[in-house]
Structure 1
Amino acid sequence: MDPLFTASDYPSNQSSNASEANSTVAYWNQFVQPVWRIVLWAIAYSSIVVVSVVGNVVVIWIILAHKRMRTVTNYFLVNLAFAEASMSAFNTVVNFTYAVHNEWYFGLVYCRFHNFFPIAAVFASIYSMTAIALDRYVAIIHPLQQRMSAIETKVIIGVIWILALLLAFPQYYYSNTDQLPGRVVCYIDWPEYTVWDFKKIYYVCVAVLIYFLPLLVMGCAYLEVGLTLWASEIPGDSSDRYQEQLTAKRKVVKMMIVVVCTFALCWLPFHVYFLLHQFFPHLFERPFIQQVYLAVMWLAMSSTMYNPIIYCCLNDRFRAGFKQAFHWCPCLPDASYEGLELKSTRYLQTQTSVYKTSRMETTISTVLQPAEEEPRGVVPTWGSSHVAAADRRPSGDLTSNGSSSRSVSKTVSETSSFYSSSNLPE
């Protein structure tokens, strides 16, 4: 995330006089790494940036460029992808550079942004996932309740970002740079109060608000949803339509559970690390702690690159979108371009059935229509006695036959309407 959770706030607390500043420099100069180790860490962090930015940008394009993908859940996925791509692009490399060199090269303005934005982005990410969990809960546990509209979804996303910016504002307001002997540092100049420790309280609140509380809410929501989808069945409803809807809902919930669990596992060491630092600072006075910090930060930042991979592996439509986005890649065969309009296989099969049924209706109407209009006194070239008998039938029978043909056509038409209206996926 940002080094201001770590050593970057130390100069403020330890440089009240020149001697303390000099001792701080001597301490942090112990964190010197060999070149080969820096190169390996640089490759690891750079891979996060490339995979995260490219993958999340493709996710945003898949959803916004295809009308069929613009659902409530996917709007929150757009917000999640934007937050993760932004944090990866603007903070990962800078954070790594500062953690390795312990010197700030980017000025006061970016120092404030660098401390401010990651907390806002993580807040927006995890509360987008929370909103998806609650939306799934309402859709499955209370199916008769009205769902959120597109406008309401955008308003919720706006509220999430406003709250995120408010939570991160102290990091921006108290950020500062300082010139120490031989280097510049970016740190947070936390106010000191005699009654209570503002810095410690703030970090505890941040950990609760952007990790433990939303995970608790999502855990309860998905537990209830999982029990409903996997441990219970609707009595007497075993239709194909019901089973298809149940399977589709299970797939979406399974995908989001994987996303949430991945986020939780990636960020757990990060929050444990910094909470321990607030209460047991003496544990972090050894040189090896720099490697621990780089590993913990890499794992946390890597959470931004896993979601596009999860979407591609667990969702057919996202997989089709990724194939379309990377159609130039020689490893993708031409046959893999099916479903580029991001429609499910069942949808395409339904459209084929509708087309065949319409052709059947047209054929029946074409074949039966001449029989209605055939003059009664003309004997066809069939030459059969049955034809002659049919020719001598009263007009009432012929009218009955005409009604029967129209009835067949009407039945086929109604069947076509049923397939086109009720079998399309939601």
Structure 2
Amino acid sequence: MDALSLNATDCSGLNGTNCSGGFNQFIQPAWQVTLWAAAYCAIVVVSVVGNVLVVYIILAQKRMRTVTNYFLVNLAFAEAAMSAFNTVINFVYAVHNEWYFGLVYCRFHNFFPLAAIFASIYSMTAVALDRYMAIIHPLQQRLSSTETRVVIVIIWVLALLLAFPQYHYSATAVLPGRAVCFIDWPDYTPVDFKKMYYICVTLLIYFLPLCIMGWAYMTMGFTLWAGEIPGDSSEHYRQQLIAKQKVVKMMIVVVCTFAICWLPYHIYFLLHQFFPELFEQRYIQQVYLTVMWLAMSSTMYNPIIYYCLNSRFR
């Protein structure tokens, strides 16, 4: 069985690995597949509609075109695109363990989500640093609209470069009874390239930006909430302070939501890299579908958060 089995993580997700085996041992009853399908389709509908509305609101309203909101447009675009192009495909592949979509989409499927996640979290990081400069160093020059667009382009260039190995090494293969999409990592390097790559990816798209944002928001929080307002502060100053507090509070909720949604996914794949024998059990498909749903669901919460915590979006 071990030589023939193939669990759902072997060829799906952001970090597909080498494929082996010729049949799918993880066949679920129809009612279970239906429930999972409804859950994944709900992500796509809410995410795409919500994030498209966010983009429209910001670009259509002149007063909404701030530096922070330009980065939120980039964040919304990345999340809507990832939800639309990869969520359902991920689900179908995880349930069927058969690839129906050809080599071109296999490469896109392994390549684009990683780039989108990078663009998403570094858009959040850019917002955190922009807010940090506005609050901690208010007299220093802020980014202009042109400079903001340049930063967004740089974020996407770096995202595409980081994800390129997953495009380059993506492949399809026909096993007995089914086709698979996987990443055919090179095995001729002196170190385990796959493990090193994924550790670097996890650090770059999760832990490093979260550390930067954690430091920035802790500093801002101390300044905005723990600092004393001078006794002669005007009402206008107080209103500005309250507005800054609201924006920072909203972005802290956005960042914490992202961190919570993606933490189980990264833990899952780190364990998969170092303890692959744990992933041969029949229950692992349900674990994978749960972890993947939580990660993909991160794309649908931000529009709801903006609506609840930002009166301008309302």
**Bin of the TM-score, shorter chain as denominator length:** over 0.9
Equivalent residue, structure 1, for 2:17: 9
| Structure 1 residue 49: Cα displacement | 0.1
Q: Is the 8 A contact 1:4 1:187 kept in 2?
A: no
How has the CA–CA distance of structure 1 residues 46 and 239 changed in structure 2, closer, same or farther, with 3 Å as cutoff?
same
Where structure 1 has 5 or more consecutive residues not aligned to the other structure, the ranges are: 15-23, 320-426
Alpha-carbon distance, 1:235 to partner: 2.4
Q: Percent identity?
A: 74
| Matching residue's letter, 1:276 | L
* Residue of structure 2 aligned with 1:139, choices 109, 134, 138: 134
| Aligned-partner residue type, residue 253 of structure 2 | V
**What are the within-5 Å matches in structure 2 for residues 44-63 of structure 1?**
44-63=39-58
Q: In the alignment, which residue of structure 1 is the partner of 2:188? A: 193
Q: Which residue of 1 aligns with 2:6?
A: none
Counterparts of 1:211-290 in structure 2, within 5 Å, are 211-290=206-285
Aligned twin of 1:67:
62
Contact 1:5 1:274 in 2 (8 A): no
1:269 maps to amino acid = P
Please list the CA deviations of residues 43-92 of structure 1 after superposition, one character each: whole Å capped at 9, or x if unmatched. 00000000000000000000000000000000000000000000000000
**SS of 1:82 mapped into structure 2:** helix
Deviation at 1:195, TM superposition (A): 1.7
- The answer to whether residue 168 in structure 2 is matched with residue 173 in structure 1 is yes
Shift of 1:248: 0.2
The 5-angstrom pairing of residues 9-408 of structure 1 reads 9-11=17-19, 14=20, 24-26=21-23, 29-193=24-188, 195-319=190-314
The alpha-carbon distance between structure 1 residues 74 and 194, as it changes in their structure 2 partners (threshold 3 A), is closer
Distance of 1:293 and 1:101 partners within structure 2? 13
**Alignment check: 8 A CA contact 2:52 2:76 kept:** yes
| Aligned partners of 2:18 and 2:185 also within 8 Å | no
SS in 1 for 2:180: strand
Deviation at 1:25, TM superposition (A): 1.9
Deviation at residue 5 of structure 1 after TM alignment: 4.6
Letter of the structure 1 residue corresponding to residue 251 of structure 2:
M
Q: Which structure has the greater CA radius of gyration? A: 1
SS at match of 1:3: coil
The alignment covers a number of residue pairs equal to 305
Q: Is the 8 A contact 1:4 1:188 kept in 2?
A: no
Aligned 8 A contact 1:9 1:186 in 2? no
Unaligned regions of 5+ residues in structure 2, if any? 1-8
Report the residue type matching 1:34 in the other structure. P
The normalised TM-score by structure 1 is 0.70
Q: Secondary structure at the match of 2:171?
A: strand
Q: Distance in 2 between matches of 1:219 and 1:194?
A: 36
